[in-house]
């Protein structure tokens, strides 16, 4: 089978009426917004910024990019785009594995769900691209691992991907996630809760490998090789393949971030985990519990690390993978240096269907509230791993205090009268880089359109020396322009849809070459950056219409007022106001709001 040109086949499914219709995407949308993330935002805008996230009026978009499922290196990605029940902003989350590739191999570019079913259903996509909605009452109530086995028993394992929600999504936990291949997640933003609100249990895709339709196969082969060579560059010590990602996975960052005083600990009350960080690091995992290196479609890097717990209460547990962000969220952030318990809790998230970053922040916030005596009975002690494991089950089931924490740390902290101890931006919790030790990352959090996020502008790559850009992590000057540049480039790569780690080796010019030869269009590096800027402004425009206006780009006061007392960042706070002024000037925004003339300049209006 040969794939159709991207944009010809997006399936619209109305779960209220049962109507299923395949429609081409408007050509000017694919020209302006490329695919995946950018195209999804355009569809979500069409539904209206005023819709309630958990209502039938919200749309849930699962979209490929023009390179998803192709022979392009690191192209095993697709996007889930919707209005977030956690933040109220537009949100997109990206997932590796094989599901996105298989959707493309079935001849489809995306699935867009609207309405809501009265009873549990799942979506089945067959080899020839036929889409049907089928009864899921026999697997409603199952968690993700059991759901995957349920559909493998039904359809066989060969060429099958199962993307599902667990009981957290069914119970509309606001940070519930979709998970495929048992452990590849649309992690952030509560997309799983939107699935639960629609009674959509799973998307099951059965398709075998297909080749891309390419206008110029010779040029395509040449540029694919150029990108692969960059990824594998033996002379580049920070390339995805040569660097630590292939050996230690993303958790190679634990010791590095800890040493520079940017590893938030005890709900970011301090900025280093000291010597205890080693016990939860990628190096420790590789030496003690690593058993495999699984990978995603078309990826030579294999950053996922399969582990097996060999002793203690979780002996025999095998899972993927103890990645940096979850290891931090459930580790130093909760004063926990027991890597076996962290593996257990990440596996719980994969099975129940929850974002481990949001979860770890909810638990650490509850621990600080307990420590300060702000809770009436109960609570959670720092580093109490058995209690953490139990709390995770309670959150997914919305039982006891779990019902409060299921609303996310921002809402939970407000409920107990101490909103200041929730480390969040726009309702979404901060990831694993403390803004006092990595100034650019702090600005990236504040200005992220989906709430606090390290992936909107991964300037840590520059601040930690992963890419050859001179960026002192403790200097705020110049970070406004740098954050904008990273945000725009990543908006484009997320719309292709390529793994974020491709940016460690590839630039706008190489992205342009791959897109041009795949789609048979002319596009320059400047056009790539312009398209990324358009997508980022479209997201901000949506948020402005949804009520996020002047003063929405903020950080928790802790990072602005409480200087770091540890590590390389000692004495530092985030100079957010200075960086915002520089950033808004670079963007052409007025205190976080996109002016109409900017929207017209970019062709959004």
Same domain, residue pair 472 and 580? yes
Q: Is the pLDDT of residue 282 over 60?
A: yes
The model's confidence at residue 86, banded by pLDDT at 50, 70 and 90, is: very high
The model's confidence at residue 211, banded by pLDDT at 50, 70 and 90, is: confident
Residues 6+ apart with CB under 8 A from 221: none
8 Å CB contact between 339 and 285: yes
The model's confidence at residue 286, banded by pLDDT at 50, 70 and 90, is: very high
Beta bridge partners of 94: 79
The residue with greater pLDDT, 17 or 461, is 17
Q: Is the pLDDT of residue 413 over 60?
A: yes
Q: Is the pLDDT of residue 3 over 60?
A: no
Alpha carbon of residue 255 to chain centroid: 22
Mean pLDDT score of the chain: 94
74-78, 151-155, 450-454, 587-591: least confidently modelled range: 74-78
Instruction: Summarize the confidence of residues 241-260 as an average pLDDT.
Output: 84
- Give me the count of residues in the chain: 605
d(CA 511, CA 494): 11
- Report the number of distinct structural domains present in the chain: 3
pLDDT, residue 165, reads 98
Residue 434 lies in a domain: no
Q: Is the pLDDT of residue 4 over 60?
A: no
Residue 170 lies in a domain: yes
Same domain, residue pair 198 and 267? no
Which tokens go with 360? 């770890």
Buried b (16+ CB within 10 A) or exposed e, 179-200: bbbbbbbbbbbbbbbbbbbbbb
The model's confidence at residue 234, banded by pLDDT at 50, 70 and 90, is: low
The residue with greater pLDDT, 73 or 8, is 73
pLDDT, residue 1, reads 37
pLDDT, residue 220, reads 85
pLDDT, residue 242, reads 55
Residue 238 lies in a domain: no
The model's confidence at residue 466, banded by pLDDT at 50, 70 and 90, is: confident
The model's confidence at residue 243, banded by pLDDT at 50, 70 and 90, is: low
Which tokens go with 403? 């019902």
Residue 214 lies in a domain: no
Q: Which of 407, 412, 437 is nearest to 422 (CA)?
A: 412
Q: Tell me the pLDDT tens digit for each residue of 388-411.
A: 999 999 999 999 999 999 999 999
Q: Tell me the pLDDT tens digit for each residue of 149-161.
A: 999 999 999 999 9
Beta bridge partners of 176: 354
> Residue 493's domain is classified under what CATH number?
1.10.599.10
pLDDT, residue 232, reads 83
The residue with greater pLDDT, 52 or 68, is 52
d(CA 133, CA 19): 9
d(CA 442, CA 448): 10
pLDDT, residue 169, reads 98
Which tokens go with 469? 């850009």
Same domain, residue pair 399 and 513? no
d(CA 84, CA 96): 20
> Residue 32's domain is classified under what CATH number?
3.60.9.10
User: Which among 146, 179, 206 is the end of a domain?
Assistant: 206
pLDDT, residue 245, reads 80
Q: Is the pLDDT of residue 70 over 80?
A: yes
Q: Tell me the pLDDT tens digit for each residue of 523-580.
A: 999 999 999 999 999 999 999 999 999 999 999 999 999 999 998 999 999 999 999 9
Which tokens go with 378? 């109960």
> Residue 249's domain is classified under what CATH number?
1.10.569.10
pTM, 2 dp: 0.96
Same domain, residue pair 414 and 291? yes
pLDDT, residue 2, reads 43
8 Å CB contact between 205 and 125: yes
pLDDT, residue 90, reads 98
Whose tokens are 């030790």? That residue is 437
Same domain, residue pair 42 and 105? yes
For residue 555, give the 3-state DSSP assignment: coil
pLDDT, residue 495, reads 96
Residue 4 lies in a domain: no
Instruction: Summarize the confidence of residues 2-30 as an average pLDDT.
Output: 86
Q: Is the pLDDT of residue 238 over 60?
A: no
- In terms of residue numbers, what domain contains 155? 10-206
Residue 527 lies in a domain: yes
β-pair type (78-83, 60-63): antiparallel
Beta-carbon count within 10 A of 159 CB: 16
């Amino acid at each position: 089978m040969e794939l159709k040109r991207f944009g010809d086949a997006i399936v619209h499914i109305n779960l209220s009426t049962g109507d299923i219709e395949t429609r081409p995407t408007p050509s000017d949308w694919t020209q302006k917004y490329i695919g995946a993330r950018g195209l999804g935002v355009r569809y979500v805008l069409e539904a209206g910024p005023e819709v309630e996230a958990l209502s039938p009026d919200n749309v849930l978009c699962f979209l490929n990019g023009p390179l998803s499922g192709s022979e392009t290196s690191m192209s095993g990605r697709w996007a889930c785009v919707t209005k977030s029940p956690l933040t109220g902003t537009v949100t997109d989350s990206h997932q590796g594995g094989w599901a996105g590739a298989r959707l493309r191999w079935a001849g489809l570019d995306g699935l867009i769900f609207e309405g809501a079913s009265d009873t549990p259903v799942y979506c089945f996509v067959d080899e020839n691209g036929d889409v049907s909605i089928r009864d899921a009452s026999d697997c409603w109530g199952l968690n993700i691992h059991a759901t995957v086995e349920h559909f493998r028993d039904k359809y066989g394992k060969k060429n099958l991907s199962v993307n599902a929600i667990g009981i957290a999504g069914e119970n509309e936990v606001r940070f519930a996630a979709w998970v495929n291949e048992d452990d590849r997640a649309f992690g952030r933003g509560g997309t799983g809760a939107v699935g639960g609100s629609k009674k959509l249990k799973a998307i099951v895709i059965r398709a075998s490998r297909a080749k891309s339709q390419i206008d110029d196969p010779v040029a395509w082969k040449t540029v694919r090789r150029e990108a692969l060579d960059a990824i594998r560059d033996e002379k580049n010590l920070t390339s995805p393949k040569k660097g630590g990602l292939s050996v230690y996975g993303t958790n190679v960052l634990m010791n590095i971030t800890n040493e520079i005083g940017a590893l938030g600990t005890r709900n970011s009350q301090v900025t280093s985990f000291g010597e205890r960080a080693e016990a939860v690091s990628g190096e420790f995992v590789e030496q003690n519990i690593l058993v495999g290196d699984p990978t995603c479609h078309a990826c030579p890097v294999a950053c996922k690390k399969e582990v097996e717990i060999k002793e203690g209460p979780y002996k025999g547990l095998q899972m993927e993978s103890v990645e940096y962000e979850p290891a931090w969220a459930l580790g130093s952030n909760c004063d926990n240096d027991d890597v076996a318990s962290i593996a257990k809790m990440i596996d719980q998230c994969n099975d129940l269907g929850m974002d481990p970053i949001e979860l770890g922040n909810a638990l650490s916030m509850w621990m600080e509230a307990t420590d300060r005596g702000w809770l009436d009975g109960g609570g959670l002690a720092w580093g109490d791993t058995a209690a953490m494991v139990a709390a995770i089950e309670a959150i997914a089931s919305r039982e006891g205090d779990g019902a409060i924490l299921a609303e996310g740390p921002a809402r939970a902290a407000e409920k107990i009268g101490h909103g200041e101890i929730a480390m969040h931006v726009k309702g979404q919790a901060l990831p694993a880089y403390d803004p006092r030790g990595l100034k650019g990352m702090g600005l990236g959090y504040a200005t992220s359109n989906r709430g606090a996020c390290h992936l909107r502008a991964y300037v840590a790559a520059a601040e930690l020396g992963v890419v050859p850009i001179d960026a002192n992590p403790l200097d705020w000057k110049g970070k406004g322009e740098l954050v904008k540049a990273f945000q725009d480039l990543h908006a484009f790569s997320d719309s292709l849809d390529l793994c974020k780690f491709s940016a460690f080796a590839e630039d706008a010019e190489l992205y342009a070459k791959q897109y041009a030869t795949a789609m048979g269009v002319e596009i320059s590096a400047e056009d790539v950056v312009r398209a990324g800027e358009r997508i980022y402004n479209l997201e901000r425009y949506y948020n402005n219409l949804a009520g996020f206006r002047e003063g929405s780009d903020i950080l928790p006061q802790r990072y602005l007022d409480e200087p770091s007392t540890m590590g390389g960042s000692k004495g530092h706070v985030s100079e957010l106001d200075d960086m915002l002024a520089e950033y808004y000037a670079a963007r052409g925004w007025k205190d976080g709001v996109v002016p109409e003339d900017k929207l017209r300049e970019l062709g959004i209006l």
